[in-house]
Amino acid sequence: MNVLDRFLKYVSFDTQSDEESPSCPSTGKQKLLGAALVEEMLEMGILDAYMDANGYVYGTVPGDPALPTIGLIAHMDTSPDASGADVKARVVPYSGGDVCLNEEKNLWLREKDYPALANHRGKRLVVTDGTTLLGADDKAGIAEIMTAAEHLIKVKSRHATLKIGFTPDEEIGRGADLFDVKGFGADFAYTADGGTLGEIEYENFNAAGAVVTFHGLNIHPGAAKDKMVNSQYLAMEFQSLLPAAQRPEHTEGYEGFIHLTDMEGEVEKTTLRYILRDHDLDKLQEKKAVMVAAADFLNRKYGDGRVELAISDSYFNMKQCIEPCMHIVDRAKKAMIAAGMEPKEAPIRGGTDGARLSYEGLSCPNLCTGGANYHGRFEYIPVEDMEKCVQMLIGIIQDTN
């Protein structure tokens, strides 16, 4: 099976994760894809393939024991930001201009909105009908790893032992929570969970999440004078105290942000949820301090207990874990060049399972998979870029140096 056929098969599985669910995986439907992957791995000769009780899938392609044992990791879930159910994927030969995704709904993938489309003229694009995400994040990574593994099994060349890991719930920050690093047994690994062809990433945001709860007092509006406390107004005032320049829409590159992700409320109680990001850990601590100061100010102004702030760390910048073993970055760059890519180091304005795993002792940079516009209805991926990514992964595992 080629990488395109695999990808189209995998995106037919609805695997959205759910951050409100306490279980692992957060949605049982992720296990349906996991079971299908185990079955496929067994059929291709990966005899130790299995899925554990938490939905993690593992398998091994044995290689030369004199070479390093290398892991390749991707995640099975798709983002809760857009529907992943009933994905209608199709392949469109792209010669330039705009792509009609859905004639009935007048939905178009337009070059003026997504200028990077122009880089893919002459390629075949996998797109949706504009009503769901595609799921290239990260089913492209899964398809590329599986296709590379099948090649290694069929072509009897000398190569390193390959350890395969597919995780649930990466999109909600839990992909590495129950990953069996010791049992995985890799000397180092790569996540295949990136975008543009040639990108290799080993710097990511330090990340935290914040939940702010505002407590009001509801009184009939006809008798509310000097009594009512509207928690929604408290929430709006809190938001106004945060630096507007640090919203994501005003930042790029190494600049961090404070992002209001969702809100719900009524007079008695309102909740705001934020994510905080910065490549510099000290600057992330400053962002936390700003939120603490805003909450303290409102509690002094309106009375103790009106505002409750809970901040928790999510993951940290893997750079300090990768810098002592830059040979694994060089190995990936060498494989990229051999596959016809131009390697590009880029900081991740986000995070991957690899960030968490690097801090758990498994150094794990992130590699491109070729997709674009992740987490939305205008997601796409060129077939030719997926094929190059397969060659890159094969090259990494076949490198005997």
**Using a CB cutoff of 8 Å and minimum separation of 24, what contacts does 294-298 make?**
294/238, 294/241, 294/242, 295/212, 295/238, 297/241, 298/234, 298/237, 298/238, 298/241
Residues in Cβ contact with 393 at an 8 Å cutoff, skipping those fewer than 6 apart: 72, 144, 145, 148, 192, 335, 367
For residue 296, cis peptide bond before it (omega within 30 degrees of 0): no
Helices (H), 319-382: 319-322, 327-338, 353-359
Tokens of 115: 């200028």
Four-CA torsion 31, 78, 56, 275, nearest 10 degrees = -130
Cα–Cα distance, 243 to 222 (Å, whole number): 36
Residues 64-68: contacts with CB under 8 Å, at least 24 apart: 64/158, 64/159, 64/160, 64/161, 64/400, 65/161, 67/158, 67/159, 67/160, 67/161, 67/400, 68/160, 68/161, 68/187, 68/188
Give all strands (DSSP E) within 4-53, no chain letters: 50-51
| Known active-site residue 170 | yes
CB 15 within 8 A of CB 57: no
β-pair type (366-367, 188-192) = parallel
Strand-pairing partners, residue 210, are: 274, 311
Q: Which of 14, 137, 144, 170 is catalytic?
A: 170
- Tokens 């051999």 belong to 338
| CA–CA gap between residue 92 and residue 99 (Å, rounded) | 8
| CA count, 13 A, side-chain hemisphere, 227 | 8
Catalytic residue among 14, 77, 129, 169: 77
What's phi and psi for 343, nearest 5 deg? -60, 140
What is the token pair recorded at 53?
A: 């009780």
Residue 282 among the catalytic residues:
no
User: Rounded to a whole number, what is the largest CA-CA distance in the chain?
Assistant: 82
Place of tokens 């990514």: 389
Kindly list the catalytic residues. 77, 170
